[in-house]
Each structure stands twice: as C-alpha cells, then as structure tokens.
Amino acid sequence: MKVTIMGSGYVGLVSSACLANAGHQVVCFDIDSARIDRLRQGICPVSEPGLEDCIAQGMRATSLVFSAEPVTAFAGVQVIIIAVGTPPGEDGSADICHVLAAATLVGRHLEQPALVVTKSTVPVGTTEQVRERIAQVLAKRGAKLEFAVASNPEFLKEGAAVSDFMKPDRIVIGTDSPWAEKLLRSLYAPFNRNHERIMMMDVRSAELTKYAANAMLATKISFINEIANIAETLGADIEKVRQGIGADPRIGYQFIYPGCGYGGSCFPKDVRALEATALNAGYRPQLLRAVREVNERQKQRLAEKVLAYYGKDIRGRTFALWGLAFKPRTDDMREAPSRALLEALWQAGARVRAFDPRAMDACQTLYGERDDLLLLGTKEAAAKGADALIICTEWKGFWAPDFDLLRTLLRTPVIFDGRNLYDPALLAEQGFDYMAIGRGVDPERAGVQARRRGLPVRAA
C-alpha cells in the first residue's frame, strides 16, 4: 500500500520504518526540511533500540523515503497517517494545532480518495475535527474528493517501540467507514498473522482508549508509591507488600514497582490532558488529579531523604547520580524524576557527578555547562569522591555493582536508591547506609546514627 506518515518524530519514525519493512511503500513527511535532510543522510534523531537499523533497511529497499514536499508526499497515496505532536497547553489540555495543520495540508494537496488516520494521542472528538477541516479545505478548493477518517492510537513503549509495533498486543481502530476498516485491516495484515489483534470500535472510544490505558498505568504507579510511603511510615517493607499483592492475578506484578515517580513524554502529559478533557466536559476527575499529585510529590522523595539524612544542610556536598533518563533504554529526560532531584540538590547548594548510558547529551542540552554538574563516562567515575550515591534510573548496569569497589570510591558508604535495586540486608552487611523507597528506614534517624558512629556527615 502507498502510505504517507505526517510527522518524523518518535511515533512517526517508528511507524514509517516498521510499515516500510513490512513491504508497504512509505513516505515519511515533515515540514522541517533540515530534519528530513538529516534523515536522508541516515542520521536518526531518536534514540530507540533497533530504529536506526529499521530505517536504514527501509531506505536500502526503497520502501521508505523522506520528503518535505507535500506534492511528493500525497501523490497517489492511499492512507495518510497523522503522527504529529500534541504538546500540553497551559491548562494541561493537549494542543491539537499541529494535528489540524496536518489536516489542512491534506485538504490542500490531496488529489485522489484516501483514508486519513489520526495516530497522534488526541482528545476525544479530534478525529471528527480532522474530518471537518479537510472537508472545509477541499470545499474551498472546489475539489469533490471522497475521503474517510479513522482513529488508530499508538501503544508504543519507549525502549521497546520497534518490537511493540512489529508484535502488537492490540491494534485499536476506530471508524464508521467499512472502506476505512478494510484498508486498515490490509495495512496491518503483516502484524496480525499469529492471532486476531485488531479491535474495531467507534472513533470516540478509540481516542479515549489511548488516554485510559496510560492513565491506568500511571494510576498503578502512583498507587504503589502511595503504599510505599505508608509502608515507610509504619516500618513495613514495600517489596514484601508488592510481592504479596502482585501474587493476586487480579492485580499482577506489572507497574507496581515503587520508585521516585514516573516521567517521560506520555504518562504525565496524558494524565493531565485526560483530566482537562473531563473538566471541559463538566466532570471532575478526582482520581486522575490524585494520580498526578502523588507523582509530583513522589519526585521530591529522594531529595527529601538526602536532606533528612544530612540534617537539612548539604551545602558543599557532592553526590553521585546514576541514571538521568526517565526509564532505561531511552535518552528521554522529559519530566524525568532526575530533573526534580538535580534541581533540588542544586538549590540546596550541592554538586552532582552524574552518569547515564544514553541521556548524557540530553542532560547537557537541558542544563548546559554548570559548575555544580559534572557528567562522567562511567558509573565508577561518577561515584569517585562523592559523599553518597543516588540512583534514579534502573539501568541493568546498575543492578549488580562491585560494592567493595563502590565503598572505596565513595567518601562515605551511603546509598539513596530511588528504584529499590538492592537487598537492604546485604547492603547492611557491606557497611552501607541504604535508604530506598518504602523499605522502613527513616533517613533522619539513619543520619543521626551515622553521626554517632563518627561518619563524616558534614561536607569536607
């Protein structure tokens, strides 16, 4: 099939590359000509496992081309997929101006019947607005072309997006057009061979399904973090509690790992957008508000633990930070918990020595050159000479460090673990003060005990 993907961002590139590698003829279109030129040169702007190779394979097979010219993009096209960004507005609602701008371009340049699909994460009712915008522009041109619209939200996880697209757990399609359904079933046939993954529904339900899925996952994270804070207050171990509740098949183990909060480009934005959509429709979504507020508070937990341990004064101290990205296998620092931690430490007068396998450039772009931030090439280099280690991202390379070496690198054997990677009993045997999330250790009391043992809890 001849397919045009509008937008060369994260979703657009993954969709373009995967559809091209399935045998479709794909044009990835973007109005940013400089970005298109870089993509033609093989420079992938997105850090995602397998994506660069997937793009290169599609280009070698000539099934994937990049264009900034609408005439080229829409020539003979059968399916147009809108995959542009929907950034949050001031009130948290999704800004669909780029989606409607894409619809306007379709109306201006379409020369034959086609199906227009919204893959961007959009508020309920947006696909209907896309239909109306295209019809208005076509009418203004005096062009009598038949077209259909559909909603086909993406469910891609950063760090596993190529695999998610190639082996989807579900393909949600919302449309009232039998022709659109037939086209999309053909489009996704290569990904629907093992068993039926396509779920047909009306457009509004498809649009809401995307938001509801991300809101549900965010809810599970905020719930377990709330329970972790309660466990810490009561002297219980959240890891034991997590295992106890996860064994119930009605609950399961996925997304009930306590930590320092969720981040990224999806969960924070989509929870706020769904909340705003509900408010605009006259409904007050109390649970969504609680999910958001719990997460914002959770992002402060590590800094609060550090300050409590050191008696509120960390001026002149240096901390090693392992992990900057909001999760492993990505360089994405959008709304990452590490940002809240970094900014709190700096505000309190501390310095940071940081390492992340992928997000160092993103951190440099965000914060530039600073006297209180040093980006190091290894986790050991980051730990050398630091007063304590703080873990923000659960990269596999952090799971089993050499604790004997780590103890010699740190000025004092202190670890603040925002991802609960280690066994507290093992760390105690190794001589570390270990403060994790919801594991029954009071950092203030631990700091007092450290001072009694004569550990240097004042900055050198």
Q: Which residues are designated catalytic?
A: 266
Residues 6 or more apart in contact with residue 259 via CB below 8 angstroms: 221, 225, 298, 337, 394, 418, 419, 420, 437
CB atoms within 10 A of CB 171: 20
Sheet holding 373-375, edge to edge: 373-375, 351-355, 318-322, 388-391, 414-417, 433-435
Crossing angle of helices 126-141 and 97-109, in 10° steps, is 30
CA gap 275, 283 in Å, rounded: 9
Contact (Cβ atoms closer than 8 angstroms) between residue 328 and residue 356: no
CA gap 339, 426 in Å, rounded: 29
Q: Give the dihedral sign, CA 281/284/285/289.
A: positive
CA gap 414, 393 in Å, rounded: 17
Residues linked to residue 109 through DSSP beta bridges, in sequence order: none
* Residue type at position 229: N
Contact (Cβ atoms closer than 8 angstroms) between residue 393 and residue 338: yes
Q: Give the dihedral sign, CA 59/63/68/69.
A: positive
Task: Copy the structure tokens of residue 352.
Answer: 């940071």
Distances (CA, A) of 350 to 307, 344, 384, 409: 11, 9, 16, 18
CA gap 191, 212 in Å, rounded: 24
* Three state DSSP letters for 164-203: HHHCCCCEEEECCCHHHHHHHHHHCHHHCCCCCCEEEECH
Half-sphere exposure of 373 (CA within 13 A, CB side): 22
Q: What one-character DSSP code corresponds to residue 64?
A: E
- The SS3 call for residue 141 is helix
Q: Give the dihedral sign, CA 435/437/439/445.
A: positive
CA gap 358, 303 in Å, rounded: 23
